[in-house]
Every structure is written in structure tokens, then in C-alpha cells.
Structure 1
Amino acid sequence: MTISNEAEAGMETVELEPLREDKKRIFKDILGYFETHQRGYIKVPTGWGKTFLAKHIMKEYYENGKLVLFLISKNNPLLTQTYYDRKKDRPLFPDSAILSSEHKISRKEIAEALRESGQEKDKGFVIFASLQTLLGKQASEIKELLLEYADLVIVDEIHNFINNRGNDFLNEFGEQTRIMGMTATPFQGVVGNVKFVDEIAGDMREIYAKTLPECILDNELAPLKYTIAESSEDIFEIFDFEKGLDELDKQDLFLDCSTADKLKKVVKRTQLAKDVYDSLIKQKNSKTLVFCAPVRKRVYGAGGEGEEINAFHAKLTASVFNGEISAQALEKDAEPALPLDFDNYNSAGEFKDTAFITSELSRDEQSALLAAFRDAERPPYILCTVGMLIEGFDFPALESLILLRPTLSMRLFEQQVGRVTRLSPVSGKDKGKIFEISDSIDSLYQRFGEGVFNGEKVDQVQMLQPEIRLEELFSEGDAARAIEEGKIEINKVDFSALAKGKGKGAQIREVPVRLPPTVIRSKYFSRLLALTEEKDIGAFEREKRELMRATLRFRVKELRDAEELAELSGKINKLKREAYEDRRLGDVSRQHKPKVFGEVEWLLKLQALNSLKYEGGRISAPEKNKILKALGFEPDTRKIDSNRLKCLKLGSAQKTIPDLVKVLGFVSRLSSSETYQFLDKKKKEQWKREFLPAVYWGFCFIEDSPELKELFESTEWDRRVKNIIRQK
């Protein structure tokens, strides 16, 4: 392959389908933004059309004689898709080149083209590159020329560029280069330790954002039906907790298939996914993608001595779905026997109905597998994978997704959901369907108890609950309206009839799931309260932070939510009164424990009032008054603000908003990375104990104070604070 030029492409202009009117406005806003700013990013859900918009922006710069770099982290298929005009089977831009490990192009030829474009200033050129190839030794000259001449860098999936080599590369560009990022998820990491796109540089700003519910309501993405199928299995028995709660610091849990009993449980859980498919998904020619879980240890009864099997769960799942392995058969055998030679092909040499895709397959076989999967008339109808196809897999006709992997990363979760939300005029898909196999997580509290506190793992543990992740997913935008209009459905499915042996003809009952999941949050909040009540040593600083963090997660959308929170508030008040009289407590604990419960009680009420004030637009005035009464306030919506200030006065060390502004200004200065690293251990502990709680209170009054708003929108906050600020 060589560099595309006008003569080879046979055209002088770039031909693109026109933008819709709403996207034309966004297009103009972005161009206007870059007239005065160097960096910015857009945040839109997968399938919204950000790559198409980027092509129009590239065209604008290209036709004005500019040098453009379209950069991705490592997703070569996405790079190729963007470089080519598929309909005309040629590069999209007449003067362009693609630089990646898959495309063998003369580096010298590309360098000459870049130098010519940079020096002439009136000849546009677009280079499509993967970061890994661009930073390689063979591309060093190309890299230097881009740093010198590039006018615009468009970075797809810019969340992959946070605090790494990609981040360093972007920061090498001078002020003459505009940098535009695109992402569906502007963060990386697991809950409690998240990195954000604006950490790439201090001047990185959000230019435009649209939420998943908004896109669904505007018919830009397909309606969504999410079904939770509870496995009744104990998550501790299925997944590997060899390192205890530290396993929750990764984005995935690992299956434990190391013994005969463990393997049987994994197969049984996988069999449930097949039951879900057979009962609720299976239909002629529809396609289903299954995300499977990674396996860390050697699998019992499969593979050679000490040998690990690549993407074992994807292969196992394909065998279960093809009927080659069943939970019933394994139950009869004391020693489970697995096929040692997992195969995607039947005796006729064609793909089986269910296949697996792994990195060990050749690129030709992967391409053939994906081509067949995209063809409605050919198998495989079900495709199983562990880590592939999560980003950049463009298949709008995909109707169903099965999640067999619990994830602690909201970024990964959103990317998975995005596989089925694309519109497909060709297939006529009416909605995207997602089915998640969910396990019981109660054992984690029972087994690790106070360790949940000590490791500050509360958020991670709760993220294993599908309802919590879904609340996070729909926390922005008008999800309530989308649910009311039936464009977003969330259900739990009861497979008890099947489990009791009534056969596949038995009626399967789907039960609607409420968001916010107040009952679930209250259940785990009560566990935290109980753990705090049992302790009688210290100042309860960590417990207070965790309780306050959990408090800000609550939402009030209807009277039932308020009644649940009122009951919680009553529990906290009772514990506060009992703590005053608890003679077991030492002097320090007796001084602090009642205060901790008092702060949490009033912050909980403040959060309920905030939710009612800022998210209660669809709640009628009479209903709001009932909610206020349930929370223990006068049923008069005109007094919400005065009641909010009352909560601050009674619960916080800072009694007024000006007090909060003063303290949080100090927190902002202390929490900057430049300052925090030089604090000694004693000062850091003081910072956590005396000043960090003010962040929770201040967050509730952002809209009441321009000074607080400016502080909380600052990019200078350290990540310790950002993880509090951005948790809502």
C-alpha cells in the first residue's frame, strides 16, 4: 500500500454524507471553540456518530490546507474503517496515509508527504495512525514532523490516553496544534480510583456532551431493554478471591475453575445463560454477543500439566451453548470431563451456531468469523469473547448481549452496553437487549466484614450489583422520561419455574426494576451503620467518610424513596442517642461517635432535599409535599432552601456557605498534586480528618454559590477529591 494522492484516488474533493441539522450546530460550535482554545473533547455514547462528525471536522481542516492527525491507541480495525471510504473502496481523503502495524507503507514516503504539506501550508494532508506504531523507533521522523507541522490532532477513545505514553505524546504538541478528543467514557479505572480525561492537561475541557437516555429519547440510539437474571450462586464460590478484597481493585473478577466443584459451579452458571438465551432471546437469524469472564488459574481437567487455556470461558461458553457440555451431565459425573480441543467448526467445515473469538486465532480466521457473524443468514448466531470487541466493534444489527463477567469499571460497562444501542435501518432492530447473569454478593460483607471499611471497598462491592451500575449509567439525562415512555426497560427475570423442573414451557416472570435502587442502597448502608455501631475504638474517621460517600449516592424520585431514607435517618438518630450513653466507649470514641452519626444523619437529609430540588422536575407539587413530610420537614416546597441550610448548620463543622467556601479553598490548595506530595503523614491525616468531609457538604451547595461552583469545576483538584466530586 502507498500513500493516497489525488491522482490515485481519482477525485479532488472529499465526499461525505451531509450532517443532520443538530450535528451541524455542534460542528460549528466545535470549530468556534478551537478558534480560541487548544484542547477539548466531546463525550457522547457509543453509536452516536462521533467518528462521522470527526470526518467532517477533518474535511474542514483538510480543504483549508491543514495537516491533520487522526490518532487511536491500538484499535487497528477502527483505524482502517475511518481511513477508507467503504462504499467506493478507496481512501476517504485524496492526500492521506495510514500508519499502523497492519499496513506496510514506506515511512520515508510518509515523511516526505508530511514535510511537503507542512511547508507548503496550502495542501491538506491527513494521516491515520495508531499510537503504538507512531511511537516506535521506525516512525521517529514522522513523529517529529507531526509535532512540528500538525494543525489538528483528533484522538478517538481519548480515555485511553490518561497518564500514560499517549498523554505524554499529546503534551509534546505546541500551541499551534489543536487537540480534539472523542469518548463515550471520559475516565479510566475502577470505582474509587478513577482517572479523568482532563488530567491529560490543565486546559483540556469538555466541548459537548450528550447522555445515553437523551440519545435514546431523540431517536439517535436504539431503545434498550436490560434484564437481570439472578444465578442464586454465591459470588465468592464462583470467582477467585485469593487476594481478598484487593481483587476488587481490578476492572474484572477472575473465574475460579481450579477444582472439580468450582468448575461445575461455573458450568452451571453458564448453563443459566443458555437457558436465558433459549427462553428469551433465541429467534431465527438474530445475533447475540456474549462477554465472558477471564480465568486466572489453570482449569481442572483441561489442558496439559500447568498449561493455561487462552480465553477458556469463551470456549467453555461456546461448548455449553452448542450442547457439548451441560450442567446436568457434570452433576452425574464425579469427575467432570471437558473437551480438550475446543473447535469453532462442525464436521462440514462450517462455523457452529455458537463460536468463540480469541486473540490466538489468525487474523484471517478472525475476519472470516466476524464476517459470518455480521451475516444474518449464516452461523455463528452467538459469538463468545472475553476481552475482544468491547471497543470499536461496529455492528448496528447486533440485537442481544449477554454479560457473564461482573465488572468494576463503569467505562468498560458503558462500552459493553454500547454494542447493542446502535440504530440499524437495514435489520429493522426495534431495541437492543442486554441480559446479565448476576450473583449474590452478600457473602462479601459476611466474609470480609470490617475489611470492607478498612480497605474502603464499599463502592467496589456495590458495583457488582447490576442495579447500582445501571443507576450510574442513567445518572445523567432524562432517564425517568425514557423509562416512562418505554424506551428504557429494566427487569429482573425469575427462573424459579425452570429451576423447579417445570420445563422450558413454564412461564418466566419478568419483574420491573426501580431506579434509583433505594432499597438496595439502604440495605448496604445499614450494613455500614452496623459495622460502625460495633466499633468502640478511635475517632471513626474512615467510617464517617464511607458513610458520607454512601449518603451522596441516594436519590429521591418518589415517595417510596423518601420513606426508605426516613427509616434510615431514624436508625442513625437512634445510634447517635445510644452512642451518647454507651459506657463501653473510651473518651475519644465517646467524643466522636455521636458526632459522626449526627453529621451523617443531616447529610442524608440534605442529599434528599437536593435530589428533590434539582432532580424532581417530573414530581408533582402535592407529591413533593408528601415527600417533605416523610423526611420530617414541613410540607412546603417554598422552604426547601431554608431546610437545606438548616441541615448544613446542624450537621457540618462549617455552619454557613461562606464558611464552606473558605475551608474548601484551603482544601483545593492542599489537594493539588504539587502540594499534597510534600505533606507529611500527620498533615495528610489532618487533611482527611478535618477538611475532606467539607467536600461532601460543599458539593451539595455548588448551585448556591459561584465561588463553590468555580472551585468544584477547577481541574486542579487532586484525584482523591475528584473521586468524590464526580461520584454523582
Structure 2
Amino acid sequence: MTISNEAAAGMETVELEPLREDKKRIFKEILGYFETHQRGYIKVPTGWGKTFLAKHIMKKHYEDGKLVLFLISKNNPLLSQTYYDRKKDRPLFPNSALLSSEQKIARKEIAEALRKSGQEKGKGFVLFASLQTVLGKQASEIKELLLEYTDLAIVDEIHNFINNRGNDFLNEFGERTKILGMTATPFQGVVGNVKFVDEIAGDMREVYAKTLPECILDNELAPLKYTIAESSEDIFEIFDFEKGLDELDRQDLFLDCSTADKLKKVVKRTQLAKDVYDSMVKQKNAKTLVFCAPVRKRVYGAGAEGEEINAFHAKLTASVFNGEISAPKLEKDLDPVLPLDFDNYTPEGEFKDSAFITSELPKDEQSALLAAFRDAEKPPYILCTVGMLIEGFDFPGLETLILLRPTLSMRLFEQQVGRVTRLSPVSGKDKGNIFEISDSIDSLYQRFGEGVFNGEKVDQVQMLQPEIRLEELFSEGDAARAIEEGKIEINKVDFSALGKGKGKGAQIREVPVRLPPTVLRAKYFSRLLALTEEKDVGAFEREKRELMRATLRFRVRELRDAEELSELSGKTNKLKREAYEDRRLGDVSRQHKPKVFGEVEWLLKLQALNSLKYEGERISMPEKNKILRTLGFEPDMRKIDSYRLKCLKLGSAQKTIPDLVKVLGFVSRLSSSETYQFLDKKKKEQWKREFLPAVYWGFCFIEDSPELKELFESTEWDRRVKNIIRQK
């Protein structure tokens, strides 16, 4: 279908279910924003209903006779789902078209419809398109007409348009076109190299945002139970670190299945996921999605010589869950026995209880798999995939998610979690369940200790810890209240009882996980301190930067957090005193090392005070006073601002807020790409040593200074500085 038949028949009505009162307010807020702005985006969790809201915005413009473009980055089911009114089996908008690589389209006809709509005022038109088709050679005329006549472009998953061809296309639109982006995750990239939606253009601004905890508390999304099952496996033995820590610059780690021993460990880890499922998923016909890990190398004992198996782990996992590969085959003297052919079907031609979906499957088989998976009465009940279904897969009935792939990308992690947070009145689902298999990462510090530090990979390594990702996931919104009310539950499971021959009837012990994971962060912070203590490296610029970066990630939610930070502060103070007396150090190191520890010591206390002031609304006043005493201050919250300024004065090279404003204004000018590239080596070293640390101190006083607030919220800062600010 090209231009919808309803248009020719004169059927111009667009029927949508009405918006709820809260979304009516947001709808008006967005329309009001675009009366004076050209670009903006909304940030809401997956499942909140942003596509439904977008349909109402499109309807308003359509009925006003406007030309509307609904754009996604690549073809996925969402495009046709938004185009069609599935209940009436017809396009939602009578005068509309769908342009995607999967549609056999008369593009000249679409071009003529666009030209007619642009030239004849008063008749609305909506084009639903993927970026690939708009930028394709066969659609050059359509692209030019869109750039000339589009009144409103709604861009779904706009995070996929950052600093690429999509970004360039959006920036080709003139002032006539309003651009509304929608995203659950307004950033791209792995930790340490993150790009943000507001980098698309200088005037791109957040119009509306709502966090995952807020949506759960407001009953817009399902309560969430997150369970971490520790595999006791060494991550270095399971995943491929052939390129060392450079592997952490990707969004995923790759499994290593190239030897019999490696394959055994992968199967054992996958078997743990099945044990978790068998023990903890109460309804065995509840629909479960498993995200599996990619495999880079050829799999031992499977496939032809030199042949790689596409989505091997998804196929292996389906076989494990079907009982086709079982634990007895994993004895030390036996190689793992894999199926000769991985197959989704029973001898009767039905789907097995567990199945895999991969891009190599024929399109009709993929469609049949997804249709069966969405049917509560039919297998497969467990669907395994590697990279598919992360975005654009809308299935509210999904009850359980199993994560077998450690990811370095918060965006990918949030998208995965979003698969299971939708409410489903049809299935009666009242909670989303997530199980993650987690591995020991201690070996990375032991093997790459210096490399972790020198390569600035600390953030990436810590992202492999589920607790760290969960803290980031729930860093905005009232997660503490949601956890307190039982709407967000985070546990670790202890499978030791099963490992001692107590049988399937043994009870699984669930241990609550506290957020923030201060003990975990303190453990790795101590590692950084120990590495720094051992060094004699001149001015310690990199070490100081990494310690300060880690410092700003601490949060104080209760007295125990303050006790951990007080202990770290005392340890840092001790290292400072010892550095003054360390005769092994060279002259430059002896000059700088004590100052590094001193600055970090007071920044730790400042971060604790900031957390108490700005995020401690749920902490009672007696508890706050105890926290102040623990941190070494008088127990009087009325003096907290003077305590914060004391930290700045004792720890920073800039002693007052006006000093910070002055220095950071200079940093802003100096850090621009145009300026930085022309600095000589000496000036760049000075920038890192003297000015960059001021960014950390300045971040702590944003709310105290309008000048600092404006500076830190500016989109003009170079990415080197923005990554410090935005990944605190």
C-alpha cells in the first residue's frame, strides 16, 4: 500500500482513544514549547506511552493541514505498528504513507502526495519512514520535498541520531520544521565515551522528562523485581579479553567458546540461568525473554571447520532450557555434547518450549515465532536472542527477563529493562521480573591493575557490576520511596544450598541489595588509592582525575554510607601524611602527591555533604545530625553550607565560588575544539593539571551560583568536559 485508500474515499477522521488528564497536560506543554522553539525532546521510560502521545500530536497537526514526518532510524516493527490502526486493519491517518525498505512502494506517488500537501494548504499528510529509506538513492526526490515542506518531524528513538547521518539530516531542515524527539535513553556509547541528544543541535532541549521510579510509583509501569545471581565464574575465563581492556570500549563483551574448557564454563554459566528459572519463576508458562551474549570466535566442537555459528549463545541457551544439554555432560573428563543441529521445532512441527530468534531466520519464521510468543497459550514460553528485540518490541505480557550478557552501555541496559516494565491488563501481569547472571570481576583488577587506571577504564570495569548499573538506572526520581514501598525490589540469590546436595526442594536465600552500593564503590575506590600510593609519577594528573571522578559517584542515603565515606576520608588523610614523609619519592612527586590526596579527601566530604543537602529529603533530622558528626562536622544542619565552603577552601586551588566561576569560564573557552587543537603540549598539560580538576569542584556548587549553573548546562562545552559533568 502506498497512499492509504481511505484518503481517496474522503474518509478524513482520525480516531484515537483520549489522553488521560496527566498526558493532556503534557500534550499542551509540548505544543506550547513549540510555539517559541524549533527543537526539543521528551525523555520517558520504555512503556510509558510516548508513541501514543505522539499520535495525538500528529493528529493535531494533521487536522490543522500540516505535513508531518514520523521518522525512525532503522526499519523495525514500530514503524508499521504506528502507521496502522490494527483494530480497524487500516492506516491510522487517512492521508498518509509508509516508506520503508520492506514495502514495495511507488515512490513517485509518495513524492507527488508530498508536493501536493506542501503546496495546497489545509490538507494534512503524514509520512511514516525509516532514515535508511529517506536517505536512499531511490528516495532523493522525497528527501528534498520533506526538507522543503515538512511542518513537524517526530523522531522516535532520537538517541540513534547523534553525530551521524541522521544528525546531519535533521540539521538540514530549515526554520519551518519543528523537530520533536522521543527517547527513553537520551545518550549513546559506552561509559567514558558517551554522546548526548542535545549534541544534535545547539537548540535541542529537554521538553519533558519522567523517570522509571516515578512511573512505577504512579502505576504507569509495572513494579520491578531484580534478582542478581552470582555465577562464581571468573569473567576473564568466560569472556574474550584477547585485546585486553580495549574490549571494554564496546557495548558488549564477547563469549569465548573456542576450547573445550571454555565451552564447559559457558554451558555451566548458562545452566545457572536455567537453575534460577526453575527455582524462582513460579508460572512455567509465563513468557520469558533471554538476552544472550555474542560470540566472536569459532565454537569448539560445533560447526564446520573454521565456520562461525550465528547467534550461537541464543541457540545454546534454548537447548539448555529445553534440557537437550544438561549438567551430567559437563564432567571434567567429558567434552560438552552439543546438538548437531539447533532446531526450534518438535517432531510434530510445533515450536519447542524454548526457542531462539536470529536475523538469519526467514522473515515469515521470525513473524511466526513472535506471534506464538505473544500468545499466552502457545510455546515458545522462553525466547532467546542476542541483539534482536532490544528496541521496538512491544509485548506488555512479557513477565520475565533473563540477562546473560554483561553490557558496558547504560542505554542498552535501560532498553533491555524496558522490555518487561509494561503493564498488561490482558495477562494480569502485576510485576516485571529480571534475573541477571553476574560474574566475578576481581581478576580484571588483578590482571590489568595498572591498565585499568592508566587507561581510564575504571568506569567501564565497574559497569560490569549489576549494582552499579542499577544505581545509575535509578539515579533519578524517587527510587528510595519506590524501594521502601516494595515497588522496586533488588536482591541477590544464594544457590549454595543447591550446591550441597540438598535437592530441588532446598530454599533459595534472597539477600536484599542496598542502593547506593557504597560498600562496592568504596572497595574499588580503595583499589585506586592503593595503586596511587605505590606510584612515583610526577604530578599525578591522571590519578587525581580518576580519584575525583570516582568521588563524585558516592551518595549518602543513610548513616552506613557516611561511615564508609568517613573511613575512606581517614584512609586518604593517612596517605597524605605518609606522602609528606616518603623519602623514596622524587622531588616532583613529593610536591604533588600529598596535595592530590588532600584534595580528594575534602572532595569526598563535600560530595557527602552535597548528597545530604540535595538528596536527603527522606532522612530524618536526627539521622542527618549523626551523619554530620560521622563526617567530622558539628551536628547542625543549619551550617551545612558553611561546611561545604570549608571543604572547598581546604581542598581546592580555588578558595571561593567566584574563583570557580572565573576559572571555569576560562576552562569553557579553552576546552572548545577550535581552541584546544591549537594548544601546544605544555598548555594542554597545564589544562589537565590546573584547570580540569576545577570542573569537579564546580559541579558541587551548581545550585549555589547562577553563573555555574548556566555554564554546566551549556551545550557548548567540549565533550571532554561534558563527559565529566554528565557521568558524575
TM-score for the superposition, normalised by structure 2: 0.99
CA distance in 2, matches of 1:677, 1:26: 43
Deviation string, structure 1 residues 108-159 (Cα, Å, up to 9, x no partner): 0000000000001211000000000110000000000000000000000000
Contact 1:648–1:655 under 8 Å retained in 2: yes
CA distance in 1, matches of 2:282, 2:481: 30
Could you tell which deviates more after superposition, 495-504 or 98-107?
495-504
CA distance in 2, matches of 1:430, 1:702: 40
- Residue 667 of structure 2 corresponds to 667
User: How far is the alpha carbon of 1:363 from its aligned partner?
Assistant: 0.7
Contact 2:454–2:542 under 8 Å retained in 1: yes
Deviation string, structure 1 residues 368-427 (Cα, Å, up to 9, x no partner): 000000001000000000000000100001000000000000000000000000010111
User: How far is the alpha carbon of 1:330 from its aligned partner?
Assistant: 2.3
User: How far is the alpha carbon of 1:727 from its aligned partner?
Assistant: 1.4
Contact 1:233–1:439 under 8 Å retained in 2: yes
CA distance in 2, matches of 1:290, 1:499: 24
User: How far is the alpha carbon of 1:332 from its aligned partner?
Assistant: 5.4
What is the DSSP-based 3-state SS (H/G/I as helix, E as strand, rest coil) of the residue aligned with 2:226?
strand
Contact 1:9–1:91 under 8 Å retained in 2: no
User: How far is the alpha carbon of 1:7 from its aligned partner?
Assistant: 4.5
Contact 2:358–2:388 under 8 Å retained in 1: yes
User: How far is the alpha carbon of 1:722 from its aligned partner?
Assistant: 1.0
Contact 1:3–1:105 under 8 Å retained in 2: no
Contact 2:191–2:408 under 8 Å retained in 1: yes
What is the DSSP-based 3-state SS (H/G/I as helix, E as strand, rest coil) of the residue aligned with 1:492?
strand
Matches within 5 A, 1:624-703: 624-703=624-703
Deviation string, structure 1 residues 167-206 (Cα, Å, up to 9, x no partner): 0000000011000000000000000110000111111000
User: How far is the alpha carbon of 1:284 from its aligned partner?
Assistant: 4.1
User: How far is the alpha carbon of 1:441 from its aligned partner?
Assistant: 0.4
User: How far is the alpha carbon of 1:333 from its aligned partner?
Assistant: 4.6
Could you tell which deviates more after superposition, 274-283 or 479-488?
274-283
CA change 1:31–1:5 in 2 (3 A) is: farther
Contact 2:75–2:101 under 8 Å retained in 1: no
CA distance in 2, matches of 1:313, 1:93: 42
User: How far is the alpha carbon of 1:503 from its aligned partner?
Assistant: 1.1
CA distance in 1, matches of 2:71, 2:567: 52
Contact 1:401–1:433 under 8 Å retained in 2: yes
CA change 1:8–1:397 in 2 (3 A) is: farther
User: How far is the alpha carbon of 1:646 from its aligned partner?
Assistant: 0.1
Contact 1:497–1:506 under 8 Å retained in 2: yes
CA distance in 2, matches of 1:179, 1:276: 45
User: How far is the alpha carbon of 1:328 from its aligned partner?
Assistant: 2.5
Contact 1:357–1:366 under 8 Å retained in 2: yes
CA change 1:5–1:674 in 2 (3 A) is: farther
- Residue 176 of structure 1 corresponds to 176
Deviation string, structure 1 residues 43-96 (Cα, Å, up to 9, x no partner): 000000000000000001000000000000113311000000010000000000
User: How far is the alpha carbon of 1:5 from its aligned partner?
Assistant: 4.5
Contact 1:372–1:379 under 8 Å retained in 2: yes
Contact 1:229–1:492 under 8 Å retained in 2: yes
Contact 1:213–1:474 under 8 Å retained in 2: yes
CA distance in 2, matches of 1:501, 1:203: 63
User: How far is the alpha carbon of 1:283 from its aligned partner?
Assistant: 1.4
Gaps of 5+ in 1: none
Deviation string, structure 1 residues 646-665 (Cα, Å, up to 9, x no partner): 00000000000000000000
Contact 2:329–2:337 under 8 Å retained in 1: no
Contact 1:71–1:156 under 8 Å retained in 2: yes
CA distance in 1, matches of 2:566, 2:106: 69
What is the DSSP-based 3-state SS (H/G/I as helix, E as strand, rest coil) of the residue aligned with 2:629?
helix
User: How far is the alpha carbon of 1:676 from its aligned partner?
Assistant: 2.1
CA distance in 2, matches of 1:445, 1:75: 41
User: How far is the alpha carbon of 1:6 from its aligned partner?
Assistant: 3.5
What is the DSSP-based 3-state SS (H/G/I as helix, E as strand, rest coil) of the residue aligned with 2:497?
helix
CA distance in 2, matches of 1:10, 1:176: 28
Contact 1:264–1:327 under 8 Å retained in 2: no
User: How far is the alpha carbon of 1:538 from its aligned partner?
Assistant: 1.4
What is the DSSP-based 3-state SS (H/G/I as helix, E as strand, rest coil) of the residue aligned with 1:535?
coil
CA change 1:74–1:298 in 2 (3 A) is: same
Contact 2:158–2:182 under 8 Å retained in 1: yes
User: How far is the alpha carbon of 1:686 from its aligned partner?
Assistant: 1.7
- Residue 60 of structure 2 corresponds to 60
User: How far is the alpha carbon of 1:497 from its aligned partner?
Assistant: 0.7
Contact 1:221–1:422 under 8 Å retained in 2: yes
- Residue 5 of structure 2 corresponds to 5
Deviation string, structure 1 residues 230-288 (Cα, Å, up to 9, x no partner): 00000000000001111000000000000000000000000000000000015142100
Contact 2:7–2:95 under 8 Å retained in 1: no
What is the DSSP-based 3-state SS (H/G/I as helix, E as strand, rest coil) of the residue aligned with 1:692?
helix
Contact 2:76–2:392 under 8 Å retained in 1: no
CA distance in 2, matches of 1:537, 1:17: 65
User: How far is the alpha carbon of 1:539 from its aligned partner?
Assistant: 1.0
CA change 1:5–1:37 in 2 (3 A) is: farther
- Residue 26 of structure 2 corresponds to 26
What is the DSSP-based 3-state SS (H/G/I as helix, E as strand, rest coil) of the residue aligned with 1:35?
coil
What is the DSSP-based 3-state SS (H/G/I as helix, E as strand, rest coil) of the residue aligned with 2:690?
helix
Contact 1:288–1:401 under 8 Å retained in 2: yes
CA distance in 1, matches of 2:109, 2:333: 64
User: How far is the alpha carbon of 1:670 from its aligned partner?
Assistant: 1.4
CA distance in 1, matches of 2:206, 2:157: 14
Contact 1:456–1:546 under 8 Å retained in 2: yes
User: How far is the alpha carbon of 1:217 from its aligned partner?
Assistant: 0.4
User: How far is the alpha carbon of 1:669 from its aligned partner?
Assistant: 1.0
RMSD between aligned residues: 0.9
CA change 1:564–1:181 in 2 (3 A) is: same
CA distance in 2, matches of 1:629, 1:247: 44
Deviation string, structure 1 residues 560-602 (Cα, Å, up to 9, x no partner): 0000100000100000000000000000000000000000000
CA distance in 2, matches of 1:177, 1:96: 18
Contact 1:227–1:436 under 8 Å retained in 2: yes
User: How far is the alpha carbon of 1:524 from its aligned partner?
Assistant: 0.3
Contact 2:352–2:379 under 8 Å retained in 1: yes
Contact 1:75–1:392 under 8 Å retained in 2: no
CA change 1:468–1:372 in 2 (3 A) is: same
Contact 1:223–1:430 under 8 Å retained in 2: yes
CA distance in 1, matches of 2:588, 2:350: 73
CA distance in 2, matches of 1:481, 1:671: 40
CA distance in 2, matches of 1:492, 1:230: 8
CA distance in 1, matches of 2:505, 2:147: 65
What is the DSSP-based 3-state SS (H/G/I as helix, E as strand, rest coil) of the residue aligned with 2:653?
coil
CA distance in 2, matches of 1:37, 1:606: 38
Contact 1:9–1:90 under 8 Å retained in 2: no
CA distance in 2, matches of 1:472, 1:198: 20
Identity of aligned residues (%): 93
User: How far is the alpha carbon of 1:636 from its aligned partner?
Assistant: 0.5
CA distance in 2, matches of 1:350, 1:551: 55
Contact 2:67–2:118 under 8 Å retained in 1: yes
What is the DSSP-based 3-state SS (H/G/I as helix, E as strand, rest coil) of the residue aligned with 2:331?
helix
What is the DSSP-based 3-state SS (H/G/I as helix, E as strand, rest coil) of the residue aligned with 1:439?
strand
The alignment status of 1:435 with 2:432, answered yes or no, reads: no
The alignment status of 1:537 with 2:514, answered yes or no, reads: no
CA distance in 2, matches of 1:446, 1:689: 28
CA distance in 2, matches of 1:666, 1:5: 61
CA change 1:316–1:282 in 2 (3 A) is: farther
User: How far is the alpha carbon of 1:536 from its aligned partner?
Assistant: 1.6
CA distance in 1, matches of 2:675, 2:417: 39
Contact 2:287–2:381 under 8 Å retained in 1: yes
Contact 2:329–2:335 under 8 Å retained in 1: no
CA distance in 1, matches of 2:684, 2:9: 62
- Residue 39 of structure 2 corresponds to 39
User: How far is the alpha carbon of 1:8 from its aligned partner?
Assistant: 5.1
Deviation string, structure 1 residues 301-322 (Cα, Å, up to 9, x no partner): 0011110000000000000000
Contact 2:494–2:509 under 8 Å retained in 1: yes
CA distance in 2, matches of 1:501, 1:466: 29
